Amino acid sequence: MSFVLFSCGKEDSPAQEPENTAPSVPALLSPANATLCTGNVVTLEWNASTDAEKNSIIYQLQIATDNQFTQIVKTTEGAAIGQTVTLNKGTAYYWRVKATDNKNASSNYSATYSFYTEAMAVANHLPFLPQLLQPEINSLVNPATVNLKWSASDVDANDILSYDVYLGTANPPLTKVGSNLTAASLAKNGLQAATNYYWRVVVKDNKGGETIGQLWQFKTN
């Protein structure tokens, strides 16, 4: 006679560690966006992130000369919610911060802020690089109507900004489709279907200053 033995009790399952969540996204404090800094030694500050598991947090600060962060000039890491940096004079800078806990979970980057370090005897400062609003880079859009939107700013508060827009299938685009626009938007109708388009914005102030924006791209369906 043979017997098959079964356990009638519940086996203990190994305890599972709770899932770790990333810290909250840091909120930038100072200098305020689009600020003119009178010196080239700048203190950057942000709000502390929170972490649900109470893990320790390290902040990564990135400073670049373009708002896509392809030209990063300084990166720092530390637990402090601020950093003092020495930069070049007469330069527009863009900065952002992200938080990472001690289990390597990272937040998204914060919003991007800009500031300008004043040069000696500057009568007019160039506008900051334009910020893309829509369409998103490499997004698929309806060729019937494409709404191009961006934002721009200038540390000279009294400057009046206008925009030239270049759009086309060449990279970079050579065709000016909008000139001296006062609104930071342009609607284009009747584009070709299934086509890659490139576009950029030139931001101009009323004192002759011009800033050529970076290249943006979308595709029609």
Residue 186: predicted pLDDT: 98
Verify that 102 and 171 share a domain, yes or no: no
In the sheet that 28-30 helps form, which strands lie side by side, from edge to edge? 28-30, 41-46, 82-86
Verify that 92 and 147 share a domain, yes or no: no
Residue 119 and residue 97 in contact, taking contact as beta carbons nearer than 8 Å: no
Q: Please check whether residue 169 lies inside any domain of the structure.
A: yes
Please name the residue that has the structure tokens 């970079």: 172
Q: Please check whether residue 58 lies inside any domain of the structure.
A: yes
pLDDT tens figures, 102-146: 999 999 999 999 999 988 766 788 999 999 999 999 999 999 999
Of the ranges 6-15, 89-98, 100-109, which one carries the lowest mean pLDDT score?
Answer: 6-15
Q: Please check whether residue 55 lies inside any domain of the structure.
A: yes
Domain residue limits at 77: 28-117
Residue 113 and residue 142 in contact, taking contact as beta carbons nearer than 8 Å: no
Residue 18: predicted pLDDT: 78
Please name the residue that has the structure tokens 């709000």: 47
Q: Please, which pLDDT band fits residue 3 given cuts at 50, 70 and 90?
A: low
Q: Considering the entire predicted model, what is its pTM?
A: 0.77
Identity of the amino acid at 164: D
HEC letters along 55-67 = CCEEEEEEEECCC
Q: Please check whether residue 156 lies inside any domain of the structure.
A: yes
What does the pLDDT average to over 70-78? 97
